[in-house]
């Protein structure tokens, strides 16, 4: 598993629950408390141990924690890069949804060996969509992304808040190697979205 993924999990625990909780998670996972190096790869079994330890320490199911990680990645003030990457997808939430088909390639341009799952958006109506996450077809032979659909649930929810949209999301069982998130757009302009500028102002 790429170190960026593991590091994101570590930062989520540290930023939202504190360093002491991360130290306990690391101890249960038989991992040094200093954690992961972002640009190194790790045995996927280690990532699974960390997730299992998180579930025990925080007493929550892994699906909820993965969704929280997704929301954290696009909303926490310590992290801005992913939000900016996603906001380049368009001015409205529907534009953002359609840009997800290209997210895998955009991520590879930034980090060539990251190998995130391919995402496929399907339109069912102007306000109904489904997002398929190809979790069983990794682009690295040592990596799978089981549960990535739950991460995307958190990303989709966080970005809806960012755009000021009101959505209803549901994670449903898909075919083997695919996770599906059903998206119902209740209102695109439900609330004022967060401010976003493509470039930073000088001065």
Whether residues 119 and 171 fall in one domain: yes
Whether residues 121 and 180 fall in one domain: yes
pLDDT at 115: 65
Overall average pLDDT of the 6-35 stretch: 92
Outline where DSSP puts E strands in 31-91. Answer: none
Task: Give residue-wise pLDDT tens across range 162-200.
Answer: 899 999 999 987 677 789 999 999 987 655 556 555 554
Eight-state DSSP code of residue 200 = P
In a domain, 140, yes or no: yes
Instruction: For residue 182, list its beta bridge partners.
Output: 130, 170
Number of structural domains in the chain: 2
Instruction: List, as one string, the DSSP characters of 90-131.
Output: -SSHHHHHHHGGGHHHHHHHHSTT--PPPEEEEEEETTEEEE
168 Cα distance to chain centroid: 17
In a domain, 51, yes or no: yes
pLDDT at residue 202 above 50? no
In a domain, 66, yes or no: no
Whether residues 32 and 102 fall in one domain: no
- pLDDT-wise least confident of 54-68, 80-94, 107-121: 107-121
Whether residues 118 and 161 fall in one domain: yes
Whether residues 103 and 45 fall in one domain: no
List, in order, residues 6 or more apart from 139 with CB less than 8 Å away.
Answer: 104, 108, 115, 116
CA–CA separation, 196 and 87 (whole Å): 8
pLDDT at residue 142 above 50? no
In a domain, 170, yes or no: yes
Task: Give residue-wise pLDDT tens across range 126-135.
Answer: 999 999 998 7
Helix (H) or strand (E) segment spanning residue 154? helix 148-163
Whether residues 102 and 55 fall in one domain: no
In a domain, 201, yes or no: no
Overall average pLDDT of the 109-130 stretch: 82
CATH number of the domain within which 149 lies: 3.90.1520.10
Task: Give residue-wise pLDDT tens across range 143-170.
Answer: 567 888 999 999 999 999 989 999 999 9
Whether residues 46 and 98 fall in one domain: no
In a domain, 46, yes or no: yes
Whether residues 95 and 181 fall in one domain: yes
What domain range is 15 assigned to?
A: 3-60
In a domain, 7, yes or no: yes
**More reliable by pLDDT, 98 or 145:** 98
Long-range Cβ contact pairs of 82-86 (< 8 A, separation 24 or more): 83/159, 83/162, 84/196, 85/110, 86/155, 86/159
Whether residues 53 and 134 fall in one domain: no
Whether residues 19 and 103 fall in one domain: no
Cα distances from 202 to residues 6, 21, 79, 182, 199, in angstroms, run 34, 40, 21, 41, 9
In a domain, 102, yes or no: yes
Report the predicted TM-score, pTM, of the whole model to 2 decimal places: 0.84
């Amino acid at each position: 598993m790429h170190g960026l993924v593991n590091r994101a999990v570590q930062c989520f625990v540290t930023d939202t629950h504190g360093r002491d909780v991360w130290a306990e998670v690391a101890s249960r996972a038989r991992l040094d408390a200093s954690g992961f190096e972002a640009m190194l790869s790790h045995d996927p079994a280690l990532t699974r141990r960390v997730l299992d330890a998180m579930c025990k320490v925080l007493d929550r199911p892994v699906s909820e924690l993965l969704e929280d990680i997704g929301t954290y990645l696009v909303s926490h003030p310590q992290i801005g890069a992913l939000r900016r990457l996603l906001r380049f997808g368009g001015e409205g939430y529907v534009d953002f949804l359609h840009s997800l088909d290209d997210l895998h390639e955009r991520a590879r341009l930034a980090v060539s060996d990251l190998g995130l799952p391919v995402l496929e958006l399907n339109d069912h109506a102007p306000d109904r969509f489904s997002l398929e996450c190809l979790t069983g077809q990794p682009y690295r032979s040592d990596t799978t992304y089981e549960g990535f659909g739950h991460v995307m649930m958190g990303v989709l929810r966080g970005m809806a808040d960012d755009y000021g949209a009101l959505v209803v999301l549901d994670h449903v069982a898909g075919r083997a190697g695919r996770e599906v998130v059903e998206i119902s757009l209740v209102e695109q302009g439900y609330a004022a979205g967060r401010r976003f500028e493509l470039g930073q102002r000088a001065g």
